Structure 1
Amino acid sequence: MLLAAGLTIATSSCKKDFQTTNTNPNGVVAALPENLLQPALYDVVSRNNTRALRLTHELMQVHVTVSDGDDIQRYLVRPSESDYEWTNWYIQLNNFRDMYNKAVTLKQTTYQGIALICDAYVSSLLTDTFGDVPYFDAVKGQDGTLQPKFDKQQDIYADLFKKLEAANTLLATGTALTDDQLTLDPMYGKQLGAGQSAATIASWRKFGNSLYLRLLMRASGRPESNAIAKIKEMINTSPANYPIISSNTESAIIKYTGSTVPLINPFYTYRDFDFTTGNSMTEFFINTLNNWNDPRRAKWASTVAGGTYLGVPSGFPRGQVPERQSAYLTTLKVEPLLGNILSYAEVQFILAEAALKGYITGDPATYYNNGVTNAITMWGLTVPANYFSNPALAWNPAGVTEAKLEQIMLQKYYTFFFTDFQSWYEYRRTGHPALPKGSGLLNGGLMPSRLYYPVFTQSFNPANYAAAVATQGADDLNTKVWWNK
């Protein structure tokens, strides 16, 4: 809203003689779609990484801050934490919608589809974090809408599905991309290289449909969403019409280039203390990897005396700060794969859950094993011999459904390493993986179901804020969002 107000003031006070004195004859009238994509998507993903470190990994017991000064691991998230996500997501949502409008004007169907996917991605983050949010009237400050109404999450999800359907159709016959345009695509075009227009467009289409599948599964507990029928259509009835990510190379990842701009790893400039020294990985996170003899430990965590991996308890009481143990490796500060948005392994675990619940035909064990294998190989590692002989990893066909779901979701949890808020969303949806509860938890020992709305919304948009609270429920951590009720 502040951004919109600023833009309104700027446009109303700078019109006189603007065309005569401020036009660059060598420039373009407006940014082209391809020029908006890289900075906007990179900004979203890199900022999501920093929030994964700050919030998600504390809530979901990947690590804890080894001090008494931070209560996030104790399930207390203050309203001030919301400002960062809200503001930056809306700024980039504005860019993606601008990108779409410019692509429509230029009749560039490929960028229309890409913009719709990016819009759906950012909008899903907003609504899955806060619940009802401004959506249909959002980022319209330049049109005079400075106090947008909040829309119901159910209605937002219905429109996200429409956008992803449209993106799938647009990208099925998308306009070809030039080599110059490919170099400006931070995800697929840059990685596939020159002359790979068709492959790049196909990869974006698969990403869009995989994102669609993620959101359908999230809404599948609500019959009115019709999500289960759509999942079946995509996977069993008309799979050729809905191609999805089918290998690690097709995963939606902005591969950071270490310390090299423009795709610098967002943690490269962090002090070691802020990234690793001030925290320790948890007993839950480390002990599970130890139990699996998982090779990803060597990529993610430091060892302690004797070359072993140890964690600390999460949710410890104030005044009982544990001694620091294994922590993030500093090599992660230049790791390319931290730019993950949606991986092939995640898609396999979505399908495993769908098959387990009878939404689709297929063997959940096959999807599960594929997911486990590719979650490891994505990191350039080899699955250890006899890995699936471990009873903690082996799929048990005779097991009860809830135990199988725990297996799937526990594995899925590790695929979300530094992936925005996804592990928290999925925990809220399913209650898995089963996290231990420390004796120092606050908030009644309840995992937060959402974040507070930013404080400034109460001041700048009071009527619509009040209407949202009246519709959704109290603006607190324990009010459940639509798909979680």
Structure 2
Amino acid sequence: MKKIKILIYLLSIILFASCELGDFGDDLQENPNLLTPDQADPNFLLNNVQKEVADLLQDLNRTTDEVMRYTVLNETYSDVSNQASLNSEYTNYYAFLEDANIIFDLAENDESLLYHRGMATILTAYATVTMVDYLGDIPFSEANRGDEQILNPKPDDDAMIYATLLDRLDIAIDDLANSTLAPTNDLYYDGDAEKWIRLAKSLKLKMLLNIGDRDRINVLLAEDDFITSDDDFQFQYGTSASDPNSRHPDYNISYRPEGFSTFLGNSFLNLLLNDKSISDPRLRYYVYRQSNTDPSDTLLGCVGSSIFNFCYLGNAYYGRDHGDTRSTGADRNLRATYGLYPVGGAFDEDNPSAPEFAIAAQNQLGAGILPILLSSFVDFLRAEAALTLTTSDDSAALLESGIRKSMDKVLNFANAASGSTFAATSADVDAYVLEVMTAFAAADNQGKLDIILKEYYLASYGNSTESYNGYRRTGLPSVFTAPIFDPNTPFPRSFSIPEDAINNNNQLSQRPITTQVFWDKNPVGFIR
């Protein structure tokens, strides 16, 4: 009995002590290991936004590479744009928006963060525009407001989102014009606010062309403050193969012992090889041939079949036709693959070898770029606007300028082909430009537009989002054919709403891939 009393006494002391020690007061109830938004470092947050925007845009481009014939469509349009296609992209997009929102909140009372806010506004606007271009209506005004108990944000009208973003870009321009302190790391423009301003205006041009707003485009043209060749908006990859792997994603799937995991598209290769009287000067920079041996007829499996548009283009340019869903053989080391530009691979000098051994001076080991919005792209956009909206620009001059800027960028990429006897010359470029411009001068307006979109398609290699938008906007270039095995499948005018988003948000419902985004006003079935 005495032992029991002692035990009760000891327990009561422990209980009393624990109560006393647990009364820390309200000011000591916060977890010291959990940062609150106001304690976050805006430089770290902005670093993440910069990287995640590039990752998002790269992932979207790689998804539409198949749709736009740069690589083979080895499935159906429905498969490539189904409800699982953009699950990770959708999730990651809203995740880095949260970081951007914290920057916006911090900048409300801190003028030293105007540059940070301007950058974050432009980057998130670019990402949001691209998501709208792929998906149409998405959660926007109610997105990332969980602190307000908005757990099922409604989708907003895509035209309204565009209008809001155009206004935000004007605010970002003002922020950058009045900024005094650059962030610790500006991965794109190294602390040059003027370059960000030119990017914002170039993004506005791209958006206004989509919606066909001639008057507002003319205002931008009068300002004449677009990105130049020194301001190209691109993300630079590294050469590290270890964790984290910093190399261009398409380098990673090409330059390895087992060979190239997919095929380049024969339609794209044919344009480079055979569309003009001479091969495209960018050919050896864009494409690397792993072999100098033609694949056998048995391996090809398409020789003599009328269903194929190309089957095989010859001279070891081994790709596949659009919509070729056949299984593949033991040919990964025979396929033409990504070259020097833009993935940082090898320049083709007629000395094919398996790419993992092509580590001569011409191989940049994956230090490629993601060409997001280049000065050449801006020229093509302006050329199209001049023709279709009768803006104050000269479409012919801008077409030529766009081609020459693209050639200059590709042919001088990393100076990797310098001194090679296979490097393209200025005479090659001049001959190419002369042929294009002669055809342009002789064409009617529809033919002129077709030429502009074809040259833009070739120049935007590495950024199929631009081609995807242009194709839906104009139905051009006209050289594209339907998938060979499934010619009646509908072209994805937009992508399916991700399955994970629908499962987690009762305000969302699925839409067919024939749903057109607001600026796509073309007839049903006019592209294939």
Q: Give the TM-score taking structure 2 as reference length.
A: 0.74
CA deviations 1:367-393 (Å, max 9, x no partner) are: 111100111211243542532365356
Alignment pair present for 1:373 and 2:400: no
Query: Cα deviation per residue 1:330-373 (whole Å; 9 max; x = unaligned)?
Result: 84484444322110000000111111224422321111111001
Change (3 A) 1:187 1:72: farther
Distance 2:38 2:234 in 1: 31
- Residue 449 of structure 1 corresponds to 493
Distance 1:335 1:367, change over 3 A: farther
In the alignment, which residue of structure 1 is the partner of 2:336?
326
Could you say if the C-alpha distance between residues 335 and 409 of structure 1 is closer, same or farther in structure 2, counting changes exceeding 3 Å? farther
Separation of aligned partners in 2, 1:457 and 1:216: 29
1:132-151 map, 5 Å: 132-151=137-156
Aligned residue number for residue 84 of structure 1: 88
In 2, Cα distance between the equivalents of 1:274 and 1:428? 38
2:165 is aligned with 1:160:
yes
How much does 1:286 deviate? 0.8
| In the alignment, structure 1 residue 302 sits paired with structure 2 residue 288 | yes
Could you list the runs of 4 or more consecutive aligned residues of structure 1 that deviate by over 6 angstroms after TM superposition? 260-263, 319-324
Write the letter of the residue equivalent to 2:186: D
Shift in CA distance, 231/411, structure 1 to aligned 2, threshold 3 Å: same
Give the deviation of 1:60 after TM superposition: 0.5
CA pair 455-23 structure 1, distance change in 2 beyond 3 A: closer
Confirm or deny that 1:483 pairs with 2:519: yes
SS in 2 for 1:136: coil
For the pair shown, the structure with the greater C-alpha radius of gyration is 2
Describe the shift of the 1:28–1:123 C-alpha distance in structure 2 as closer, same or farther (beyond 3 A).
closer
Aligned equivalents of 2:221, 2:55: Cα separation in 1? 31
1:372–1:276 distance in 2 versus 1, CA, 3 Å:
farther
Q: CA deviation at 1:172?
A: 2.4
Structure 1 residue runs of 5 or longer lacking an equivalent are: 1-14, 190-196, 221-226, 470-474
Q: Which residue of 1 aligns with 2:322?
A: 314
Question: In 1, Cα distance between the equivalents of 2:327 and 2:227?
Answer: 47
- The size of the alignment, in residue pairs, is 431
Shift of 1:124: 0.7
* 8 Å contact kept, 2:75–2:325: no
Q: What displacement does 1:112 show?
A: 2.0
Map 1:390-401 to 2 at 5 A. Answer: 391-392=435-436, 394-401=438-445
Partner of 1:426: 470
The aligned residue for residue 266 of structure 2 is: 283
Classify the secondary structure of the residue corresponding to 2:453: helix
Partner residue in 2 for 1:185: 186
SS in 1 for 2:196: helix
Name which structure has the greater RCO, CA cutoff 8 Å, separation 6+.
1
* Structure 2: distance between partners of 1:318 and 1:336: 33
Normalising by structure 1, we get a TM-score of: 0.80
Question: Aligned-pair distance for 1:215?
Answer: 0.8
Of the three residues 357, 361, 371, the one matched with 2:388 is: 357
Query: Is 1:343 matched with 2:324?
Result: no
Q: What RMSD, in angstroms, separates the aligned Cα atoms of the two structures?
A: 3.1
Q: Is the 8 A contact 2:383 2:396 kept in 1?
A: yes
The answer on 1:465 being equivalent to 2:497 is no
Task: Indicate the percent of aligned positions where both proteins have the same amino acid.
Answer: 23
Q: Which residue of 1 aligns with 2:50?
A: 41
SS in 2 for 1:80: coil
> Structure 1 residue 113 and structure 2 residue 118: aligned?
yes
Quick one: distance in 2 between partners of 1:39 and 1:257?
Answer: 17
Moved more, 410-419 or 370-379: 410-419
Q: How does 1:1-150 map to 2 (within 5 A)?
A: 17-19=28-30, 21-22=32-33, 29-53=38-62, 55-64=63-72, 70-72=74-76, 76-107=80-111, 108-150=113-155
Give the secondary-structure state (helix, strand or coil) at the position aligned to 1:341. Answer: strand
